[in-house]
Amino acid sequence: MTSERSSRFIKVKGIVQGVGFRPFIFNLAEKFSLTGWVRNSSSGVEITVSGDAIGLDSFISEIRSAPPPLAHIDSLIATNVPWQEFAGFVIQTSLQENGARVPISPDMSICPDCQRELFDQADRRHRYPFINCTNCGPRFSIIKDIPYDRPKTTMAGFELCSNCRAEYENPRDRRFHAQPVACNECGPKVWFSVKCGTVSEKDEAITQTRAWLRAGKIVAIKGLGGFHLACDASNVQAVNALRERKKRSDKPFALMAFSVKIIRRYCEVSPEEEALLTSPQHPIVLLRQKYETNIAPEAAPGQNHLGFMLPYTPLHLLVLEPGEGYPDIFVMTSGNLSEEPVAYLDEEASRRLDPIADGFLMNDRPIHMRVDDSVARVCSGVPYLIRRSRGYAPQPITLPIPTRQILACGAELKNTFTLSVGQQAYVSHHIGDMENYETLSSFESGIEHYKNLFRITPEIIAADLHPDYLSSRYAMELAQRTALPIIRVQHHHAHMAACLADNGWDSTDPVIGLTFDGTGLGTDGVIWGGEVLVGGYSGFERRFHLSELPLPGGDASIRHPSRIALAYLAACGLDADTNLPPMQSLCSEERTILRSQIEHRINTPLTTSMGRLFDAVSALVGVRQTATYEGQAAIELENICDQQENAPYNIPIEKDVMLVRPLLEQILRDWSAGVANSTISARFHNGLAHLALEVCKQIRRNTSINTVALSGGVWQNMTLLAKTLALLNREGFTPLIHRQVPTNDGGISLGQVMIAHYQINQ
């Protein structure tokens, strides 16, 4: 060794605790013959190493290039320090400081090493349903408090056996300081029960679960962040029974299969989709369904995409392991009644799920935080999140600028909240639709948990403009109680800001916001949703919007596309033809009541919603008249879209209004002429894409703004998104779409944080 010997001090920030970072450093130091120490600190990991320069450089570059699978390095700073002599390399005990803030790893799917051991007869954890290591397993869902140590997790009650302890204490072991480490000897156990009586335990419980699933029964399975309801997805009776008992009429069920190979029997899986399915997060991935499969059609009625996930815990692998005559695909839907949050506590689950499930696969590892499965799809080769939850939350999103400590309460549907500090935004896991007491209380307890875990004391509160959202009411009461400033944020402004923050936009330059959405309260009292904004975090101007049309029954109308269609037609003076499908679906009495409701403006707010326009068109051509979940009519309209049809409907613009009436006229004309619905759907989608391009061009002409943020629930429509992106790119615009948070209302709280920060600092 001719190279010079020196010492360096290294600080690493990011998700570097509870993910096997210190043993990784320990082994890396040994590899390059370095001496010194590593320890956790208040803000990450600190390292001091001594050795020759080549070894030191390789050591640092390998930390950057090949960190442990669950680690996420935000920054690494290495400085030269005076030479220090060490006897060897040691892992020091944690520095514990008050006010410490360290990101917590999300729950991660079982790693390949653990999966191999699970099915290895020679391994001492062979078929142990809770096998895990530093690279995988539960994290966020079992943590009660920080620092992340076993006594502060729900594993506290399980004392390590001598074998597990030896692994836990050995820095050369994959299970060094893996807090949830356990085995058959000392860890949590499973049992199978019916009507509150235990029938079988351990491996027998798994065998029994499999036998019941095979026989077409519904089994509630306690998993990582809550309960699933499972049944054989190819068994029509089982799927129908589940639908009936769950009171969820049409919303598609999530599916689980043992391997990508099996999923390929049912869906097209691109390499990018495979990468997403097998990523450490293991989200539900929406995949294009193949024709003629044996999936019960009731599993996902009216869909041409299926939501599939791979088993993400050892327990799921054991339940799904392929076998002779054993089903290969399973419904794995969240364990709740429709609208309620997913059950996660044992007693609560047995009570709430008893009417639905025939049997229960239980275990005694408590879940501290309920976490739903995440949902994603692939858009132009990269992940596009529909629901950001398990595997993603609570990993912070890096904000483009440092903010004060802000609590943003989000919207009403698909609620998430965000707590921010500095450049970190802790966007919560999916809370759900804030329509009942259960969801509200899980929202409230979630906020308290995050405040405590991440040591955030909000100085500012942000909430939606809508006074009746439960999240807004919570925010107003909190502001009153604490005398903290509250910033009310217009819904679509929040969408636009969320998209900007999602893309790391750190500029005050204005952009164009194509916020095509369901509904949100506008600054003028009208229900907005088809808005073209110009602005940024600090403010916006509404440049274009769809025609204002009557929405009979307000928000309740999302269940009745036929009524929306009739109201729109009536308002445009196009309701003469009683043969139209929405007219046919309503009896004459209903039509009369509806007309007088519209005429006298009784509970009929005006709306410019793009989502409702989709509903109206879907009903108009007879695709769907009543919906059982938000967006159903629009999804089914998209699903029939003829991908070969390129002609667009013309949607004229008059001053600042994008006119709906001429659009409806063209649709009616095509419909009367017998043009196929698939063609009408395509022309509608094409028309909107061209409209989006046209408004952007008009704005660019006057302002030279070139950046376009696409946000709002309507952009979950991949057909419209692809067509719009193609046109914008062709004309030299720079479109920004969501990457880290959903384009739907799940992203709202992130946008609220940025807007509140700018408002308070103005």
Binding site for Fe ion (CB under 5 A): 517, 745
CB of 73 to Zn ion, least distance (A): 20
Structure tokens at 484: 């903290």
Q: With respect to Fe ion, which residue has the nearer C-beta, 158 or 443?
A: 443
CB of 398 to Fe ion, least distance (A): 23
> Using CB atoms within 10 A of its CB, is residue 477 exposed (0-12), middle (13-18) or buried (19+)?
exposed
Question: Which residue in 408, 489, 402, 488 sits closest to 446, CA to CA?
Answer: 408
CB of 413 to Fe ion, least distance (A): 8
Q: Which listed option, Zn ion, Fe ion, none, makes contact with residue 73 (CB within 5 to 8 Å by class)?
A: none
Q: Which listed option, Zn ion, Fe ion, none, makes contact with residue 183 (CB within 5 to 8 Å by class)?
A: Zn ion
Q: Which listed option, Zn ion, Fe ion, none, makes contact with residue 340 (CB within 5 to 8 Å by class)?
A: none
Site string for Zn ion, 326-345 (x = CB under 5 A): --------------------
Site for Zn ion in 164-193 (CB under 5 A): 164, 183, 185-186
Structure tokens at 695: 């408004």
Structure tokens at 604: 């009929």
CB of 391 to Fe ion, least distance (A): 24
Alpha helices in 364-490 (DSSP H): 437-453, 470-482
Q: Which listed option, Zn ion, Fe ion, none, makes contact with residue 38 (CB within 5 to 8 Å by class)?
A: none
Q: Which listed option, Zn ion, Fe ion, none, makes contact with residue 186 (CB within 5 to 8 Å by class)?
A: Zn ion
**What distance lies between CA 243 and its chain's CA centroid?**
23
Distance CA 401, CA 150 (A): 35
Q: With respect to Fe ion, which residue has the nearer C-beta, 328 or 745?
A: 745
Range in contact with Zn ion (rule: CB under 5 A) among 125-133, 373-381, 432-440, 559-567: 125-133
DSSP string, 707-748: EEEEESGGGG-HHHHHHHHHHHHHTT-EEE--SSS-SSGGGH
Q: Which listed option, Fe ion, Zn ion, none, makes contact with residue 593 (CB within 5 to 8 Å by class)?
A: none
CB of 747 to Fe ion, least distance (A): 9
Q: With respect to Zn ion, which residue has the nearer C-beta, 41 or 135?
A: 135
CB of 224 to Zn ion, least distance (A): 14
Q: Which listed option, Zn ion, Fe ion, none, makes contact with residue 725 (CB within 5 to 8 Å by class)?
A: none
Selected from 135, 235, 442, 618, the binder of Zn ion by CB under 5 A is 135
Contact between 136 and 253 (Cβ < 8 Å) = no
Distance CA 144, CA 445 (A): 12
CA atoms within 13 A on the CB side of 344: 19
Q: With respect to Fe ion, which residue has the nearer C-beta, 373 or 517?
A: 517
Q: With respect to Zn ion, which residue has the nearer C-beta, 69 or 302?
A: 69
CA atoms within 13 A on the CB side of 698: 18
Q: With respect to Fe ion, which residue has the nearer C-beta, 167 or 745?
A: 745
Site for Zn ion in 84-123 (CB under 5 A): 111, 114
- Is residue 728 involved in binding Zn ion (CB under 5 A)? no
Question: Which residue in 78, 83, 85, 362 sits closest to 208, CA to CA?
Answer: 362
Site string for Zn ion, 142-161 (x = CB under 5 A): -------------------x
CB of 145 to Zn ion, least distance (A): 24
| Total residues belonging to the chain | 762
Residue whose Cβ sits closest to Fe ion: 517
Q: With respect to Fe ion, which residue has the nearer C-beta, 309 or 386?
A: 386
Q: With respect to Zn ion, which residue has the nearer C-beta, 183 or 750?
A: 183
Contact between 115 and 312 (Cβ < 8 Å) = no
Q: With respect to Fe ion, which residue has the nearer C-beta, 517 or 548?
A: 517
Burial 587-619 (b: 16+ CB within 10 A, else e): eeeebeebeebbeeeeebbbbbbbbbbbbbbbb
Q: With respect to Zn ion, which residue has the nearer C-beta, 223 or 335?
A: 223
- Rounded to 10 degrees, the C-alpha dihedral 594/596/599/601 comes to -70
Q: Which listed option, Fe ion, Zn ion, none, makes contact with residue 465 (CB within 5 to 8 Å by class)?
A: none
Please count the residues of this chain forming the interface with Zn ion, following the rule CB under 5 A: 10
CB of 186 to Zn ion, least distance (A): 3
CB of 522 to Fe ion, least distance (A): 12
Site string for Zn ion, 186-225 (x = CB under 5 A): x---------------------------------------
CB of 751 to Fe ion, least distance (A): 10
- Is residue 479 involved in binding Zn ion (CB under 5 A)? no
Distance CA 231, CA 333 (A): 9
Q: How far is CA 298 from CA 375, 628, 630, 642, in A?
A: 20, 14, 18, 24
Q: With respect to Fe ion, which residue has the nearer C-beta, 67 or 742?
A: 742
Q: Which listed option, Fe ion, Zn ion, none, makes contact with residue 135 (CB within 5 to 8 Å by class)?
A: Zn ion
Distance CA 301, CA 280 (A): 30
Q: What is the 3-state secondary structure (H, E, C) of 296-322?
A: CHHHCCCCCEEEEECCCCHHHHHHHCC
Q: Is the peptide bond before 648 cis (omega within 30 degrees of 0)?
A: no
Q: With respect to Zn ion, which residue has the nearer C-beta, 15 or 164?
A: 164
CB of 178 to Zn ion, least distance (A): 8
Q: Which listed option, Fe ion, Zn ion, none, makes contact with residue 236 (CB within 5 to 8 Å by class)?
A: none
Q: With respect to Fe ion, which residue has the nearer C-beta, 410 or 458?
A: 410
Q: Which listed option, Fe ion, Zn ion, none, makes contact with residue 111 (CB within 5 to 8 Å by class)?
A: Zn ion
Distance CA 287, CA 363 (A): 32
Q: With respect to Fe ion, which residue has the nearer C-beta, 463 or 571?
A: 463
CB of 524 to Fe ion, least distance (A): 17
Number of Cβ within a 10 Å radius of residue 21: 26
Q: With respect to Zn ion, which residue has the nearer C-beta, 136 or 635?
A: 136
Distance CA 543, CA 496 (A): 14
Q: With respect to Zn ion, which residue has the nearer C-beta, 108 or 329?
A: 108
Q: Where are the beta strands (DSSP E) in 146-278?
A: 190-194, 197-201, 219-222, 227-232, 255-257
Q: Which listed option, Zn ion, Fe ion, none, makes contact with residue 517 (CB within 5 to 8 Å by class)?
A: Fe ion
Selected from 28, 47, 102, 136, the binder of Zn ion by CB under 5 A is 136
- Is residue 133 involved in binding Zn ion (CB under 5 A)? yes
CB of 300 to Fe ion, least distance (A): 24
> Using CB atoms within 10 A of its CB, is residue 267 exposed (0-12), middle (13-18) or buried (19+)?
buried
Distance CA 368, CA 496 (A): 34
Q: With respect to Fe ion, which residue has the nearer C-beta, 358 or 464?
A: 464
Number of Cβ within a 10 Å radius of residue 705: 18
Q: Which listed option, Fe ion, Zn ion, none, makes contact with residue 133 (CB within 5 to 8 Å by class)?
A: Zn ion
Q: Which listed option, Fe ion, Zn ion, none, makes contact with residue 161 (CB within 5 to 8 Å by class)?
A: Zn ion
Going by the DSSP 8-state scheme, the letter that residue 646 receives in this structure is -
CB of 546 to Fe ion, least distance (A): 15
Distance CA 355, CA 722 (A): 43
Distance CA 587, CA 441 (A): 41
Distance CA 545, CA 659 (A): 9
Question: Which residue in 698, 618, 688, 620 sits closest to 655, CA to CA?
Answer: 698
Q: Which listed option, Fe ion, Zn ion, none, makes contact with residue 745 (CB within 5 to 8 Å by class)?
A: Fe ion
One-letter amino acid identity for 33?
A: S
Contact footprint for Zn ion (CB under 5 A): 111, 114, 133, 135-136, 161, 164, 183, 185-186
